Amino acid sequence: MPRNTPQLLPPFSRPASRVAIRRASSYQSDLSALLYETLHVFDLPVRAKTVLLKANLVGLDPRCLTNTHPAVIGAAREAFLRLGAAEVLIGDGPSMDRDSQAVVESMRLREYAGPLSRTFVDLNVDDVERVVLKTHASRLKELYLPRTVRGVDFLVSMPKLKTHHWAGVTLSLKNMFGIVPGGCYGWPKNILHWAGIDNSILDLNAAARPDFAIVDGIIGMEGNGPIQGESRPCGVLILGDDPVAVDSTCARVMGLLPERIKHIARAATLLGHMEPDKISQLGESIESTRTPFALLKEFSVLREA
């Protein structure tokens, strides 16, 4: 039974979105308490529901530099359980390494999230169902998507704060590439690149729009991301009920102009808010947490003046 996907609405008919920026100096902080306290404010409809934390697990990551840090994933799982969720699953379909078990073992996920046999869903090899795409921004007409993603009650996109050498940044919207199953489309999910990365991001998020986003910005990645960039300590978790608003806020924290990031600007026409006056900011201010990220010269146009 497909979940009730949030409606696609143009920005003028959407209520304001809420985004919180919380400081977290390290992965050793009490992230569970921090997330619980913040999520509580959002009053999310997760009681007795199944939640899927869609992490960003790109590939093997023994130094925890490229993937969403397991401490953040484990803390989010704990926080949603404390909020009354019946089940909190963790899932992704790594794009660069087809052996998802090797990926989660390399980053020691079980040490933070407990036994994974009933919790972790390898979205690359999950059962699939045909989904006709609604938006036709790219030339893709349909995709086979994981049943777990379609079936959960509450979908949370959990990326790491990173630059990306094709898309400019990879945040909660781009993170949804991971739901496209490698078992159908390969490693990497090259069909999305050929269909146009920016437009595919819009199509994919329209087909499976996250209900919430939690961005691991404690240590991000700058330069030649999403794999070969440099670590960039930023000391924040950024979370909110609108992936476009969350990504726009992340971009501003990174010293970038979201309106110049194609996929964010396009998503703002249908999936959420990009303009600051339609985003209700909680916690820290953007100014107080701004940490300019280094960019490849191809993307210097994204930088704020």
Residue 157 backbone class (left: φ over 0; alpha: ψ -120 to 50; beta: rest): beta
CB nearer to another protein: give 125 or 219. 125
Residue 74: CB minimum distance to another protein, A: 18
Residue 161: CB minimum distance to another protein, A: 20
CA atoms of 42 and 22, how far apart (whole Å): 14
The residue within the footprint of another protein, chosen from 59, 93, 217, 258 (CB under 8 A), is 59
Amino acid making up residue 115: P
When asked if residue 183 is in the footprint of another protein (CB under 8 A), the reply is yes
The residue within the footprint of another protein, chosen from 185, 255, 281, 282 (CB under 8 A), is 185
CA atoms of 101 and 120, how far apart (whole Å): 10
Half-sphere exposure of 82 (CA within 13 A, CB side): 15
CA atoms of 187 and 181, how far apart (whole Å): 9
Residue 146: CB minimum distance to another protein, A: 11
When asked if residue 126 is in the footprint of another protein (CB under 8 A), the reply is yes
CA atoms of 123 and 242, how far apart (whole Å): 23
H or E element at residue 52: strand 50-55
CB nearer to another protein: give 61 or 241. 61
Residue 226: CB minimum distance to another protein, A: 11
CB nearer to another protein: give 108 or 260. 108
When asked if residue 144 is in the footprint of another protein (CB under 8 A), the reply is yes
When asked if residue 191 is in the footprint of another protein (CB under 8 A), the reply is yes
From first CA to last CA, the distance across the chain in angstroms is 48
Q: Can the peptide bond before residue 226 be classed as cis, meaning omega within 30 degrees of 0?
A: yes
CB nearer to another protein: give 49 or 164. 164
CB nearer to another protein: give 122 or 211. 122
Q: Which of 121, 79, 129 is nearest to 100 (CA)?
A: 121
Q: Could you tell me which residues come within 8 angstroms of residue 254 by beta carbon, excluding any fewer than 6 positions away? A: 161, 163, 169, 220, 222, 234, 291, 292, 293
Choose the stretch contacting another protein; rule: CB under 8 A; options: 78-86, 202-210, 224-232, 269-277: 224-232
Residue 124: CB minimum distance to another protein, A: 9
Residue 46: CB minimum distance to another protein, A: 26
The residue within the footprint of another protein, chosen from 224, 269, 281, 291 (CB under 8 A), is 224
When asked if residue 60 is in the footprint of another protein (CB under 8 A), the reply is yes
CB nearer to another protein: give 194 or 288. 194
Question: What SS3 string covers 213-282?
Answer: EEEEEEEEEECCCCCCCEEEEEEEEEEECCHHHHHHHHHHHCCECHHHCHHHHHHCCCCCCCCHHHEEEE
The residue within the footprint of another protein, chosen from 190, 275, 276, 288 (CB under 8 A), is 190
When asked if residue 285 is in the footprint of another protein (CB under 8 A), the reply is no
Query: Between residue 94 and residue 123, which ones bind another protein under the rule CB under 8 A?
Result: 96-99, 101-102, 105-106, 116-117, 122
Joined tokens for residue 270: 């249908």
8 Å CB contact between 286 and 253: yes
Instruction: Please report, as ranges, the residues that interact with another protein according to CB under 8 A.
Output: 59-60, 96-99, 101-102, 105-106, 116-117, 122, 125-128, 130, 144, 165, 183-188, 190-191, 193-194, 224, 227-228, 296
